[in-house]
């Protein structure tokens, strides 16, 4: 196992893992799997930055199927950023209640306030600018600019980390590995040159459907024979 906290070897590890034959096989198998098993959600058929940002905020704390059940209803109530901005707290809180996010209404409204008053109601395409918004961290910012604007940037959460750690046999000494800069560097080095949106969504779906936290579906995994943590792997 390689550690992403090996001092001066950190970048060497990431660079060599990403350029290895194993990395090429990983990308190929992941793309093939995604063509057959990709999940279909309403926020994946739009390029509206507002809708995509909303979906990422919801998905940070709620399972995708639950968000899918309520997403369109929330958009109908707040179809634009300005509509959200001009709404009352109780109205926003009530709309978020089915997601279990009623208490997040204040944060969501604070985000809308900044976007309307400081950015003219536009969603910035720069991830660092997005991270300055209330309730927006690195993952939400990166996912938004990737899926809304096609920016070539990785998306790294605890689920993506699990896939990368299992397949590439790496670890992090950080208590929150998804915040480890070296893990993000590895994820960035693994990005394909094109169709980054599909690649990132493939990683998300693969983590949710196959490489799960508990009882991963190793027997059906297309990468089982090359994964060092799979039972009976080559």
Q: Which residues contact 45 (CB under 8 A, 6 or more apart)?
A: none
Catalytic residue among 10, 50, 139, 167: 139
How many CB atoms are closer than 10 A to CB 26?
A: 23
Active-site residue, 157 included: yes
Catalytic residue among 11, 85, 88, 157: 157
Q: Which H helix or E strand runs over 170?
A: strand 170-171
* Backbone dihedral angles phi then psi of residue 2, each to the nearest 5 degrees: -95, 140
Tokens at 88, concatenated: 């009352």
| Sequential DSSP letters for 91-105 | HHHHHHGGGT-GGGH
Q: Which residues contact 133 (CB under 8 A, 6 or more apart)?
A: 111, 114, 115
Active-site residue, 56 included: yes
CA dist 216 and 167 (Å) reads: 12
Q: What is the largest distance, in Å, between two alpha-carbon atoms of the chain?
A: 58
Q: Which H helix or E strand runs over 34?
A: helix 21-37
Active-site residue, 199 included: no
Encode burial over 55-76: b for 16+ CB neighbours within 10 A, e otherwise: bbbbbbebebeebbebbeebbe
Catalytic residue among 56, 180, 182, 197: 56
Instruction: Using DSSP, state whether 120 is helix, strand or coil.
Output: coil
Active-site residue set: 56, 139, 157
């Amino acid at each position: 196992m390689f550690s992403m906290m090996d001092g001066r070897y950190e970048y060497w590890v990431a660079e060599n893992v990403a350029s290895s034959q194993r990395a090429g096989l990983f990308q190929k198998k992941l793309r093939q799997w995604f063509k057959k098993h990709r999940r279909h959600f309403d926020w994946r058929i739009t390029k509206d930055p507002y809708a995509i940002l909303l979906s990422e905020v919801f998905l940070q704390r709620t399972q995708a199927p639950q968000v899918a059940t309520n997403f369109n209803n929330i958009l109908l109530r707040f179809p634009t950023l300005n509509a959200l901005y001009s709404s009352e707290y109780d109205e926003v809180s009530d709309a978020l209640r089915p997601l279990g996010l009623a208490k997040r209404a204040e944060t969501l409204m604070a985000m809308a306030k900044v976007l309307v008053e400081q950015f003219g109601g536009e969603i910035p395409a720069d991830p660092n600018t997005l991270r300055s918004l209330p309730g927006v961290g690195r993952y939400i910012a990166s996912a938004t600019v990737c899926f809304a604007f096609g920016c070539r940037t990785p998306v790294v959460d605890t689920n993506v980390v699990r896939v990368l750690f299992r397949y590439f046999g790496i670890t992090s000494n950080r208590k929150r590995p998804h915040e480890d800069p070296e893990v993000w560097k590895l994820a960035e080095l693994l990005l394909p040159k094109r169709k980054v949106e599909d690649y990132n969504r493939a990683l998300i779906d693969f983590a949710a459907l196959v490489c799960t936290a508990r009882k991963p579906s190793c027997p059906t995994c297309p990468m089982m024979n090359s994964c060092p943590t799979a039972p009976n792997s080559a």
